[in-house]
Amino acid sequence: MPLETLSKYTPTELEKIVESPCPFYIPRKRVFSGIYAPAHELATNLLAVKLQQKLKELQLKVSTEQPLKNINGRLDLKITKGKIRLKNSGKTLAIVEIKTGGLKLVQPACYALSEQVDVLLVSFKTGEMQIVTPETAEKLLTKIKESLEKKEELKEENMAIPCNTCSKCANEECGYCVGETEKEKFEISSKIYQEKIEKICENLDIICSKIIEYLKDKLEKEEEEVKAEIEAEAEVMVEEIL
């Protein structure tokens, strides 16, 4: 998917657009508990500190809230090789996208394609880690681009696609929209604080260990590649001498 197409939407906006197959779908604005944002920030900060403490011996640097290169948005965590200086940052080894709720498919793909590096999609809800490569991201976002173009054609032909997202649609001019008439839907639970904190405490060490394992494996592979290149160059030099 060309980056110029990504520049039309933020990763979050694009994620919402593909929630529905209908070209007339407008996501309903939803107001969530105030716990969500600080819980995400807390999880990010705790993970950053824990990772940096463990990665300093590998000379890796952790940074938070870094802007994306080519599209609107900010990264949760970036892990780079070597020290970061104001005008000379090290090579990026991985990006960590943190979720304290459900995982997303499009957002991490946008980050992987934009930064051309693996995105480690981690869930504090389940403790799992999924790896999103730039190659897989490009395949997904190319299909999404094609789908968006087809949806525009359907929209011009005034062809709606009734679906399960009609109940979440805010397009009141569409006859299929069966959602609530109010503009906002408030979702809250008295147990959110307890649930979020318990999951953060339960899965912090698990997620940290998975990220470190990935990074060590990546560094080992890079060292092997460098060693192979050096040996190949040495062989060429010997042949030239002989």
**Of 66 and 88, more confident:** 66
Distance of CA 70 to the CA centre of its chain: 15
Q: Domain count of the chain? A: 1
Distance of CA 26 to the CA centre of its chain: 23
Structural domain including 197 reads 3-241
Calpha distance 45→38 (Å, rounded) = 10
For residues 208-232, average pLDDT: 84
Calpha distance 151→188 (Å, rounded) = 33
pTM confidence score: 0.85
Rounded (to 5) percent helix, strand, coil in the chain? 50, 20, 30
- For the chain, give the mean pLDDT: 86
Comparing CA positions, the residue from 78, 60, 82 lying closest to residue 115 is: 78
Q: Indicate the burial class of 79 (C-beta count within 10 angstroms; 0-12, 13-18, 19 or more).
A: buried
**Digit-coded pLDDT (tens) for 104-125:** 999 999 999 999 999 999 999 9
Calpha distance 80→98 (Å, rounded) = 17
**Of 241 and 161, more confident:** 161
Calpha distance 199→192 (Å, rounded) = 11
Comparing CA positions, the residue from 44, 5, 51 lying closest to residue 152 is: 5
Per-residue pLDDT at 87: 42
- 174 pLDDT exceeds 70? yes
CB 49 within 8 A of CB 41: no
- 8 pLDDT exceeds 70? yes
**How would residue 182 be classed by pLDDT, with cut points 50, 70 and 90?**
very low
Per-residue pLDDT at 74: 85
Comparing CA positions, the residue from 148, 118, 164, 135 lying closest to residue 18 is: 148
Calpha distance 216→151 (Å, rounded) = 43
Other CB atoms within a 10 A radius of the CB of residue 238 amount to 9
- As beta bridge partners, residue 29 has 184
CB 81 within 8 A of CB 59: yes
Per-residue pLDDT at 240: 61
CB 42 within 8 A of CB 98: no
